[in-house]
Amino acid sequence: MFDEFLDKVVELRRRGESFAIAVVVRFEAPISGKPGDKAIVYPDGRIWGWIGGGCSQPVVIEEAQKAMRDGSPRLIRISPSAEPENGIIDYAMACHSGGTLDIYIEPVLSKPQIIILGRSAVAQTLAKLAKAIDYSITVIAPGALKEQFPGVDAIRDKLSIDPATITAQTFIVVSTQGENDEEGLELALTAKAAYVAFVASKPKIQKVFEYLQGRGISRTDLDRVHAPAGIQIGAVSPEEIAVSILAEVVQARRTEKSQTSASNAQPKTQVTVSGQAKDPVCGMTVDTTNPGHSSQHKQQTVYFCCARCKETYDKEPGRYTDR
């Protein structure tokens, strides 16, 4: 099993996918998970491996997805008492089996990716600088040569972007500077990356924007473009402009993580979707169309998988609803 686990990790790393590893590090009987049990959690919530039964899996999936969003590992404890302890995220074990599990979760994130459209001097310097801080670099430009972009991950001659390659960690910089400006920026916008920057003067930006609006690109999409590209530090030379762009990319990446971490800390209410809700005590999915157990809290119906979860919740509803 361990060999299969390692093979799966290697495969995911080779494909450049993000995932999280969950490992049971401690237990107190009676419970099905044991130290050394491990699983891979995918961003969409799928799980491969074994870290315990039905009460532990929803919690592990939730915390693994948070870890992938904020990039931080965590140690969680699932136990009947859920006593707070420094450095451990506590969840109540409401299943009848009882027992305690301590599970360490480590996110394994794909490299941040910069797609550079163009072969300009700014593009060449940006590729070198970004590669030096271990970003994955793809250059898309007709006529681009390996000698111009040493060490990048890919050089493509055709102006096209595979939507499947776009992730939350993808940053697109259009540095065509006179070569396919309109086509390059239109391609960048249709790729739907979170960050798009355009290297150009203000008069050029206005003309290109007007052209793209005439082609049906919305003003909302155009307003997403960082133009002129880069943090305003008075950069003049191609090298200085490249530095300002990379600084802006790093800022965008880290700001996104900070916002995600802050949003994870906000109070949450129980979410119901298509006749299903998550039990706030144990994390299990509950069918709301025929619920066996429910309570009212702040004019909201809260659903539970069993009577024990309902009883635990009713004693201290704010602890679970606002978690």
Q: How confident is the model at residue 257 (pLDDT cuts 50, 70, 90)?
A: low
Among 63, 94, 110, give the residue marking a domain's end: 110
**Domain assignment present for 259:** no
pLDDT per residue as tens digits for the range 25-37: 998 876 677 889 9
pLDDT per residue as tens digits for the range 297-306: 887 889 887 7
Query: Could you tell me if 131 and 202 lie in one domain?
Result: yes
Rounded to whole angstroms, how far apart are CA atoms 120 and 178?
A: 9
Query: Could you tell me if 183 and 225 lie in one domain?
Result: yes
**Domain assignment present for 104:** yes
**Domain assignment present for 261:** no
Query: Could you tell me if 148 and 99 lie in one domain?
Result: no
Query: Could you tell me if 80 and 120 lie in one domain?
Result: no
Residue that is written with structure tokens 């800390």 in the block: 265
Query: Could you tell me if 106 and 117 lie in one domain?
Result: no
Query: Could you tell me if 282 and 319 lie in one domain?
Result: yes
How many angstroms separate the Cα of 247 from the Cα of each of 233, 244, 255, 320? 10, 5, 12, 40
Residue that is written with structure tokens 């136990």 in the block: 79
**Domain assignment present for 39:** yes
**Domain assignment present for 305:** yes
Query: Could you tell me if 23 and 86 lie in one domain?
Result: yes
**Domain assignment present for 256:** no
Rounded to whole angstroms, how far apart are CA atoms 204 and 187?
A: 17
Say yes or no to pLDDT of 80 above 80: no
**Domain assignment present for 262:** no
Among 110, 125, 150, give the residue marking a domain's end: 110
Other beta carbons less than 10 A from residue 263's beta carbon: 12
Query: Could you tell me if 167 and 179 lie in one domain?
Result: yes
**Which residues span the domain enclosing 129?**
113-251
Rounded to whole angstroms, how far apart are CA atoms 21 and 3?
A: 15
CB 216 within 8 A of CB 210: no
How many angstroms separate the Cα of 236 from the Cα of each of 34, 197, 207, 226? 60, 17, 22, 17
Say yes or no to pLDDT of 261 above 50: no
Among 110, 132, 162, give the residue marking a domain's end: 110
Query: Could you tell me if 133 and 94 lie in one domain?
Result: no
Q: Give me the chain's average pLDDT, please.
A: 85
Query: Could you tell me if 7 and 89 lie in one domain?
Result: yes
Query: Could you tell me if 276 and 217 lie in one domain?
Result: no
Query: Could you tell me if 183 and 242 lie in one domain?
Result: yes
Burial 29-44 (b: 16+ CB within 10 A, else e): eebbbeeebbbbbbbe
**Domain assignment present for 260:** no
pLDDT of residue 247: 97
pLDDT per residue as tens digits for the range 157-186: 999 998 878 887 899 999 999 999 999 999
Say yes or no to pLDDT of 217 above 50: yes
Domain count for the chain: 3
